[in-house]
Amino acid sequence: MERRDLLRAVASAAALSLLPSERALAAWSRVATGIATTDGLTAAQLAFVRAVADTIIPRTDTPSATDVGVERFVNVIYSEHAKDDERKEFVAGIDAIDARATSVANAAFVDLDPAARGKVIESLESGPRNAEPSRSWWRLKGLVVHGYFTSEPVQKNVLKVEVMPGRFEGAAPIKLKKKPSTVVVPPSDEAHAHG
């Protein structure tokens, strides 16, 4: 299946579930400010997330994960929306994934070519999902995919999501239809008095 077909299938099958949640919307809004996060990921950790993101969703006829800023989204999620223990677990997971890359391919993940990255990913995805480093891999992969599909460029230009379908015409003419009026005259009190 081609990547373009995959994107369309995901879009049609799950468009509603991929609409930004409050957390994703808040994170993307924060990314849009351009202000650096405090207590965010280090430069090396951001490079790792960028390498993972572009390995999962590379640039083709659609933007790559880093083209839409997924690494900044991940950074905001873990620096501003995660609890301290979740943040520590995430960083430990990055280290565990990188250690797997070194054991499988003799180099850090960011230094590997796409084929070697694929072998590392295969080793992560073939292991039990609830054991490290596979557990951290699946979490990071899910966050990258969610961040990508909830980004504004992908929502607008790839998925073609219209939150408010149609276009707004503030001064559109309106034709009022007149209903034929039927006037019912109640009997007057005088008619009752004389009858």
Closest CA to 111 of 40, 42, 41, 50: 50
Which residue shows structure tokens 């149609």? 166
Mean pLDDT of 102-124: 94
CA distances (Å), origin 125, targets 93, 139, 156: 14, 12, 31
Per-residue model confidence (pLDDT) at position 51: 96
Residue 87 vs residue 177, higher pLDDT: 87
The whole-number average pLDDT for the span 51-79 is 93
The tens digit of pLDDT for each residue in 147-190 reads 999 898 998 888 887 766 666 566 666 677 777 666 666 666 65
Distance between CA 89 and CA 83 in Å, rounded? 10
More confident residue, 172 or 92: 92
Position 164 scores a pLDDT of 62
Asked if pLDDT for residue 18 goes beyond 50, the answer is no
How confident is the model over 35-64, as pLDDT tens digits?
877 778 999 999 999 999 999 999 999 999
What percentage of residues in the chain have a pLDDT greater than 90? 49
Half-sphere exposure of 124 (CA within 13 A, CB side): 29
Integer Cα distance of 178 and 152 in angstroms: 44
Domain boundaries, the chain: 3-161
- The answer on pLDDT for 7 being more than 60 is no
Percent of the chain with pLDDT over 70: 75
